[in-house]
Amino acid sequence: MTAHTFKVWRGERGTGAFQDYSTDITEGMVVLDAMHQIQAENANDLAIRWNCKAGKCGSCSAEVNGHPKLMCMTRMDELPAHEPVTVEPMRAFPHVRDLVTDVSWNYEQKKRIKKFKPRAPDAPDGTWRMMQADVDRVQEFRKCIECFLCQDVCHVLRDHHKHDEFVGPRHLVYTAALEMHPLDIEDRLGDLKDEHAIGYCNITKCCTTVCPEHIAITDNAIIPLKERVVDSFYDPVVKLVRLLRAKRT
C-alpha cells in the first residue's frame, strides 16, 4: 500500500482549479477506485459520473494525465508512480461540476442522422437475408459504448468548437454503421458533406487512439465515408460513369 497524490479538478460551470488529494493505492486499483476513495475520505462532495466500473457504460470519461480515458479502465500501475496524477473533466463539452460534463449535445446530434431504411424484404414473409461477410464490417462499429472520448479528443470540437457544424467521430462511426449496412438504402452522403461536415476531419487519428473499444474509427469509418463523399461529389470520372450508366438504363 502506497500513498499517491492526485490533482483533481474541482469547480463548477467552467470555473475551478486543481486540488491536491492523497490516498493509499493498493494492487489492482484503477483511477475510478482512487476517486471514490478520495470522495469517501477527503471530499464527500466530489462529483463523478460512473456506472458499470467495467468499461462498458462509457460514463466515467475524463482526462487522466492529459489523456482522455475511462477512469474505470485506467489502472494505477500504468501511471508514473512518483508523480501526481491529474484528473480533469472532458474539455469538449459544457462543464457541470468537478469531473462531470454535459454530453447531451451528442444525443441531439445523433437525432440529426438519417435513420436506418431497409430495402424491400427479400422473402414473402417480410424478412431479409444477409451474408455474415457483409455484416462483419459494420459489426465493429456497434462496439461503440458512447463514452465520447473520441469527441473529446477531436481537435475540431475540443479546440475549434465546431459543434454547430461538425458531428464528430462518434457520429461518423454511427453513420458508417448505417451507410455500410447491407440492407440500408438511405443516402446520407449529401448530409455527410454539408450538414455533418466530414471534410473538417483532418485524419489526426486521435479518435482511434483513445477509443476504449479499439474501433479503427479513422481507417474503417471516417476515411471510407470520405471516399464515398468523393465518389458522389468530387470525382468527375465517377460522375461521368454514373451519368452514362443512367442514360443506358
Partner 1 sequence: MPHPRVRTTKLLTRMPRMNRSLPVMDQRGFGETLRRDKWWIANIFVVTVLSSFLAYATWAALQNAFYTHGPYLSPFYSPELFGASPHAWFGPKPSWWPGFIPFSPALIILPVPALFRFTCYYYRGAYYKAFWADPPACSVGEPRKTYLGENSFPLIMQNVHRYALFFSFIFLIFLWHDAYLALWFTDANGVERFGVGVGTIVMFANVSMLSGYTLGCHSMRHLVGGLLDRLSTSPVRKLAYDCSSACNRGHMNWAWVSLFGVALTDVYIRLCAMGVLTDLRII
List residues near partner 1 by CB under 8 A: 11, 13-17, 63, 65-68, 80, 83, 86, 88-89, 91-96, 102, 104-105, 108-109, 131, 133-134, 137, 153, 155-156, 158-164, 179-182, 184, 197, 199-206, 209-210, 218-219, 223-224, 227-228, 230-231, 234-235
Q: Residue 227: CA atoms inside 13 Å, Cβ hemisphere, count?
A: 9
165 close to 190: Cβ distance less than 8 angstroms: no
Look at residues 187, 200, 215 and name the one whose alpha carbon lies nearest to residue 113: 187
How big, in percent rounded to 5, are the helix, strand and coil portions of the chain?
A: 40, 15, 45
**Beta carbon nearer to partner 1, 55 or 94:** 94
**Beta carbon nearer to partner 1, 11 or 55:** 11
- Shortest Å, Cβ 118 to partner 1: 12
The whole-angstrom separation of Cα 69 and Cα 64 is: 6
- Shortest Å, Cβ 154 to partner 1: 9
- Shortest Å, Cβ 232 to partner 1: 10
**Residues 6+ away with beta carbon under 8 Å from 153:** 68, 92, 206, 207, 209, 210
> Other C-beta atoms within 10 Å of 90: how many?
23
**Beta carbon nearer to partner 1, 52 or 161:** 161
**Beta carbon nearer to partner 1, 105 or 148:** 105
> Other C-beta atoms within 10 Å of 17: how many?
8
- The DSSP letter of residue 143 is G
**Beta carbon nearer to partner 1, 54 or 129:** 129
- Shortest Å, Cβ 7 to partner 1: 9
- Shortest Å, Cβ 230 to partner 1: 5
